[in-house]
Chains A and B, each alone.
Chain A
Amino acid sequence: MISLIGFIGLILSFVCNVIVIGSYYFKINQRFNQTFYLALYCSLFFICLSFFALMFAYISSDFSNFNVFQNSHSSKPLLYKITGTWGNHEGSMLLWLLIMSLYNVFFSFNITLEDHVRKLTIVFQSFLYLCFSLFVILTSNPFLVNSIDINEGLGLNPILQDPALAIHPPILYIGYVGFSLILSLALAGLILNQLDNLWIQVIKRWAMFCWLMLTGGIALGSYWAYYELGWGGWWFWDPVENISLMPWITGLALVHSLMITQQEQLLKRWIIFLSILCFSLSILGTFLVRSGILTSVHSFAADASRGIFILILFLTITGFSFIIFILKSPHSNKQINLLFINKTSALIINNVVMLIACITILLGTIYPIIIEVLTNKRMSVGAPYYNSTVLPILLPGFLIMSIAPMLSWQSNKLDKIKNYIYILIVTSILTLLITYLTKFNIWGFTGTILGLWIIAASLLSILHNCLKYKFKKFFIYNNALIAHIGVGIMIMGITFSSISQTKNNFTIQTGEIVNSGQYSLQLKNLKIEEKNNFQELLGIFLLHKKNEFLTTIKSSKRYYYVSKVITTEAGIYHDWFQDFYLVLGNEKNNKWSITIYHNPLVSFIWIGVMIMIFSGMVGILKK
């Protein structure tokens, strides 16, 4: 019954979107306006109905629904029943549709744009909705009836029963799918030739919002990988990670380019290109993940027919958009004022560097497919490739980032240059010291000097601003600098955690103490706990640093009853400057093998990202 309601909701939302588009083109009656918006709101209502119907089916463990049967189990905790709604291919596509519709409706409340631009944007967004809902209805229907009469499900992968991973898809999708609105705005503005300041104002905020959510989603995914995957890594250049990173990079370029608003120069063509590119990468990414064409730690259940459908969608939507781009490409009559180095050139360097990085990641991700089609041999493109190519390419971008917010649009003078040079010298010396004292490495040196330099230069700039403007409009002048400080901190974190991670193996028995670095760890006891859907063997350890007691740290092994899978949960102690990361191994002769990782400056990564997100939110809210 509930599945029927869900399915009807899905179909009706499709119909409503047809009405939206239809009423735009056949403005037959006076009440076209009413029909248009009414259909739009009804469409949201119906997809909500559909989505929550599926969620209800999960919560009530309605195994007559095939999707619930495949992915859920009555013993799952309530939270994971709810989040299991989107923890599978069909459900996550329903979430995709819901988010698309939400964007459409929230956008319709916009009052800045002129009416015809707003309407055409809504029409394009509805059209995109039609494409994806067709995909769901025809190939990924979450409301199929289970032909087996059964009152238990097949359970869910225990790895997915995790708080961070549960919330990661919605947040990620709000960003990833949100780029659809950016595309719609771009197409509408392009076709109506209305790429004016109003349009820039509107797309600026939406782009920043999408990009922020995407940042949060990716960070959550990384953080999850860090504590769950048991070896302290948080970025593996796994195909699915790359796929979320590419729109993030182009989104970043877009957000930066949109900052050239009321200034003299307007890179209209470039902004449109990026706007189309972001969602194109989202669609391509969805294709690569759901078609089963790439192996990854994160693949959904793959299906070639679904793959072909999304591929056709990719070709149609992206092809259409780029054709419109070619035909109606805006001409900018103004000349760009390029000096070395003024703000415009800094922005261009940022854009070029980001785009090349994105192209490289795309090339690396797709290359194995190309080679296998051409030569029938399979090859891998993994972390070593991306580290050797993307990181060096990003270097100029990081260098420029340190002073970019302080540059002027018109001239290439930088206020109080001497101070910056002094700061550069001081940070260079500091970096030399640090790299001599710790494990030396060319990447260590580069990362540290970049990170320190960005932080130092930005702090200096903030100081200059405060001296000049006192604390008036603090966030208006310093927001970009704060964001860049976040990036600098993140770079420090990435550098140290990658290069200076140490790993030690030990065997330990109850009561015994092992020493690792400045820490000593004592196994207090082991106990077995029975939870709802798993049995946990918990190792309880006492952590001391320099003979001072810090905390109790636990690492465990979990045996999930239904899926019969054993997972290991790491115990992590977060310190500002180091993470103590403990993994329980196997037992032999009453001794337990454990692995201790020291991950320096990992917290800096998350702190840096949070600062970036904070700064972005300020960017949206400030007038």
Chain B
Amino acid sequence: MDWGYDNDLFGNGWNIEKMKKLFLFIPLIIVIMITIFCLVFLLQGKDPSKPPSALLYKNLPELNMISLFDASDVISNKDLNGNIMLINFFASWCAPCKVEHPLFFEIKKNYPNILLVGINYKDKQEEAINYLNTMGNPYDYVGVDNKGLIGLELGVFGLPETFIVNSKGIITYKHLGPLTKKIITNEVTPFIQ
């Protein structure tokens, strides 16, 4: 804005002309900053439909679930601690789960020291057992989460979801959606070695 011939606005010698010139640079600076942020965001390959997990680097919440196969067998964190764990939420009604299912056998083969924990989410026991009988059961433990309460604790909102927990019980990785060979090689393996 042009303030006219009276340049000494604050009465202490601050030249209004200089101030005006400075203001003129602001839009350019903002444009450059916006470009940088957006460029970094794009180059990092972030997926806007997949928010990062809120539980990263936090302790695994207490999972108290009964086994899918034996209702009297209760699985809790005590049973699982001390190992690197891969937790996979699945269900018999979930189509993408079927696609990623075979990959777990490979993981189990390549990394035998990892504990593979499957959590059957909002499913029926019969159908889940059928599913595992047909597709095979790669999991060391399979827990039941009928009402989705365990999923709620972990921020699950759509199947399949996979978490990796390190030997100290801290969640180190989360993946939304089905796993693929590429994702396993690039993203998952660093955490399970």
Q: Which residues of A pack against B, CB within 8 Å?
A: 267-270, 273, 276-277, 280, 284, 287, 291-295, 302, 304, 307-308, 311, 314-315, 318-319, 322-323, 325-326, 329, 331-336, 348, 366, 369-370, 372-373, 376-378
Contact = CB atoms under 8 A, between A and B. Distances in A.
14 contacts: A270-B1, A277-B27, A284-B34, A293-B41, A295-B48, A307-B38, A326-B21, A326-B25, A331-B2, A335-B5, A336-B4, A366-B34, A370-B37, A378-B51
A373 B25 contact: no
Contacts of A326: 21, 24-25, 28
Interface of B: 1-6, 21, 24-25, 27-28, 31-32, 34-35, 37-46, 48-49, 51-52, 54
Contacts of A333: 5
A159 B142 CA distance: 41
A522 to B, nearest CB: 39
Contacts of A332: 2
B42 A335 contact: no
A358 to B, nearest CB: 12
A135 to B, nearest CB: 15
A334 B3 CA distance: 9
Given A269-B2, A319-B32, A293 B24 contact: no
B83 to A, nearest CB: 26
Contacts of B54: 377
A294 B37 contact: no
Given A295-B49, A315-B32, A322 B27 contact: yes
Contacts of A269: 1-2
B48 A293 contact: yes
B86 to A, nearest CB: 22
Contacts of A370: 37
Contacts of B25: 326
A291 to B, nearest CB: 6
A268 B31 CA distance: 22
A307 B47 CA distance: 13
A260 B119 CA distance: 69
Contacts of B2: 267-269, 331-332, 334, 336
A382 to B, nearest CB: 14
A276 B28 CA distance: 11
Nearest to B35: A315
Contacts of A291: 38, 42
A314 B3 contact: no
B1 A267 contact: yes
A304 B42 contact: yes
Contacts of A334: 2, 4
B37 A318 contact: no
A76 B6 CA distance: 67
Contacts of A378: 51-52
A82 B185 CA distance: 46
Nearest to B28: A322
Given A267-B1, A326-B21, A326-B24, 10 more contacts: A280-B31, A304-B42, A311-B39, A311-B42, A314-B31, A322-B27, A334-B4, A335-B3, A372-B41, A372-B46
Contacts of B52: 372, 376-378
A137 B152 CA distance: 47
Given A293-B48, A304-B45, A322-B27, A311 B38 contact: yes
Given A277-B27, A295-B48, A315-B32, A308 B39 contact: yes
Contacts of B44: 373
A287 B1 contact: no
A268 B40 CA distance: 36
Contacts of A294: 48
A308 B41 contact: no
A280 to B, nearest CB: 7
A370 B1 CA distance: 30
B31 A369 contact: no
A132 B72 CA distance: 66
A370 to B, nearest CB: 5
Nearest to B40: A373
B37 A325 contact: no
Given A267-B1, A292-B48, A325-B24, A373 B35 contact: no
Contact of B42 (A293, A315, A329, A366): A293
B56 to A, nearest CB: 8
- Name the residue among B6, B28, B44 with the largest chain A CB count within 10 angstroms: B28
A325 B38 CA distance: 24
Contacts of B43: 308
A243 to B, nearest CB: 13
A308 B42 contact: yes
Contacts of B39: 308, 311
Contacts of B34: 284, 366
A236 to B, nearest CB: 17
A554 to B, nearest CB: 34
A293 B4 contact: no
A322 B24 CA distance: 8
Q: Which 5 A-B pairs have the closest CB atoms?
A: A335-B4, A332-B2, A378-B51, A322-B28, A315-B35
A369 B27 contact: no
Contacts of B38: 287, 291, 293, 307, 311, 369
A267 B2 CA distance: 7
A294 B46 CA distance: 11
Nearest to B25: A326
Contacts of B1: 267, 269-270, 336, 348
A333 B34 CA distance: 34
A291 B27 CA distance: 23
Contacts of A319: 28, 31-32
A369 B51 contact: no
Nearest to A326: B24
- Name the residue among B1, B21, B32 with the largest chain A CB count within 10 angstroms: B1
A287 B37 CA distance: 13
A362 to B, nearest CB: 9
Nearest to B54: A377
A263 to B, nearest CB: 14
B35 A314 contact: yes
B30 to A, nearest CB: 9
A326 B52 CA distance: 41
Contact of B37 (A308, A314, A366): A366
